[in-house]
Amino acid sequence: MAYLFTSESVSEGHPDKIADQISDALIDNFLAFDPDSKVACETLVTTGQVILAGEVKSKTYLDVQQIARDVIKRIGYTKSEYMFEANSCGVLSAIHEQSQDINQGVDRQTKEEQGAGDQGMMFGYATNETEEYMPLALSLSHKLLKELAVLRRENKEINYLRPDAKSQVTLEYDNNNKPVRIDAIVISTQHDDFDAEPAMLAKIEKDIKEILVPRIVKDNPQYAHLFNDDITYHINPTGKFVIGGPHGDAGLTGRKIIVDTYGGKGAHGGGAFSGKDPSKVDRSAAYATRHIAKNLVAAGVADEILVQVSYAIGVAKPMGIYINTYGTAKVNLTDGEIAKKVEGIFDMRPYFIEQRLKLRNPIYSETAAYGHMGRTPEVVTKTFTSPNGEEKTVEVELFTWEKLDYVEKVKEAFSL
């Protein structure tokens, strides 16, 4: 029986995403000057105010206020009428040193024995539904908001956009679990107060349908057949959306974990990513399980795969690895037998995850908006400046967990 499935995304200017981006900018700066830094940093944003809290163990000192302001400026909160502006907002830091009781479970005499930074279970997921092995509804939701941000920065075809926005895409699937059309699209975008409310809403809806959506179709011809004249659009369905960002809603680090991962497909262990260094398996093991799932699907083990790993705090070896292929396996093995083979291919001890995916580099700011998964690996050069004027330029590889570098090993192990 055909069914509907929905995923959502939020823009880089959404309050929760502002918080994520500030927390991850702090992670990057700590790791740039001290790769062994242990950091768990939470951010709260509200009207005219940023509050930083958390625990740090590092040899470096940062100007956390300036880092926060730089992030806010880059996102686009640069006007006083937004009631949250990069240069004028207050920034309060309540960051303190990491508990030694926690640290003793992570740092060991040999790096290979490094314990997990916390207990818990983490999930990775992949499907051959899209080229990036991600659920299509989430992929389209992200694409809509990325392009909306491009239009905002161009400030030409649409010149009234403000940074805060949300999207949602509902797909219809057939009996074979294949997407056949887009049923509904929801876009809520913050905007200037440029006319009477009915005129503003009509203009925004027209621009979304006639400018934004055609750009998405043009850039993604493989999905053009899913767009149709019967799509139900809800554009700013509550009415005008002038008051937004942290002035409209408070934002907190780690409150968009489904947007960050798979849009409701697969599963989630509950732990957020942003603001955590890679000793926290909430982050590193979630990336590692995505890496496993993506390489297994790309190798042809199954059309769709969920991978779970679990840890005890301070213990290096995982409690276990679980695999669910949802009945799509293309190998003559049970899911349990597939899991046993996976254990022999991928070392899931925290230190080896960090090494395999190069996670002790400043690579996290780029993850903090538009999803941590399904992104394109690339090598970039980044420059960081310390409060005493020291500059650090590093070449880093982003989104290493998206690389298909284990496909041949998987094929060999599964005789594919």
**Which DSSP symbol is given to 81?**
G
Ligand-binding annotation for 312, yes or no, is no
Query: Do 3-10+136-244 and 15-105 come out as alike in CATH topology?
Result: yes
Domain-wise residue ranges, the chain: 3-10+136-244, 15-105, 120-128+257-414
Locate all alpha helices (DSSP H) within 34-124, ordered by sequence: 64-75, 100-106
CATH, domain 15-105, list 3.30.300.10, 3.40.50.800, 2.30.180.10, 3.40.50.620: 3.30.300.10
User: Any idea which residues carry the catalytic annotation?
Assistant: 14, 16-17, 42, 55, 166, 241, 249-250, 255-256, 276, 280, 282
Closest CA relative to residue 6, chosen from 204, 232, 275, 220: 232
Ligand-binding annotation for 240, yes or no, is yes
CB neighbour list of residue 204: distance below 8 Å, 6 or more residues apart: 160, 189, 191, 235, 236
The architecture CATH gives domain 3-10+136-244: 2-Layer Sandwich (3.30)
Phi first, then psi: what are they for 390, rounded to 5°? -70, 130
Ligand-binding annotation for 164, yes or no, is yes
Ligand-binding annotation for 156, yes or no, is no
Ligand-binding annotation for 276, yes or no, is yes
What's the confidence (pLDDT) of residue 109?
63
What's the confidence (pLDDT) of residue 168?
98
Dist. CA 134–CA 366, nearest whole Å: 18
Ligand-binding annotation for 165, yes or no, is yes
Rg of the chain over Cα atoms, rounded to whole angstroms, equals: 22
CA distances from residue 222 to 143, 168, 217 in whole angstroms, order as listed: 14, 20, 8
What's the confidence (pLDDT) of residue 129?
96
Q: Which residues of the chain have pLDDT under 70?
A: 1, 98-110, 112
Ligand-binding annotation for 55, yes or no, is yes
Phi first, then psi: what are they for 138, rounded to 5°? -70, -45
Record: fold of 120-128+257-414 = GMP Synthetase; Chain A, domain 3 (3.30.300)
pTM: 0.96
Dist. CA 186–CA 180, nearest whole Å: 18
What's the confidence (pLDDT) of residue 115?
78
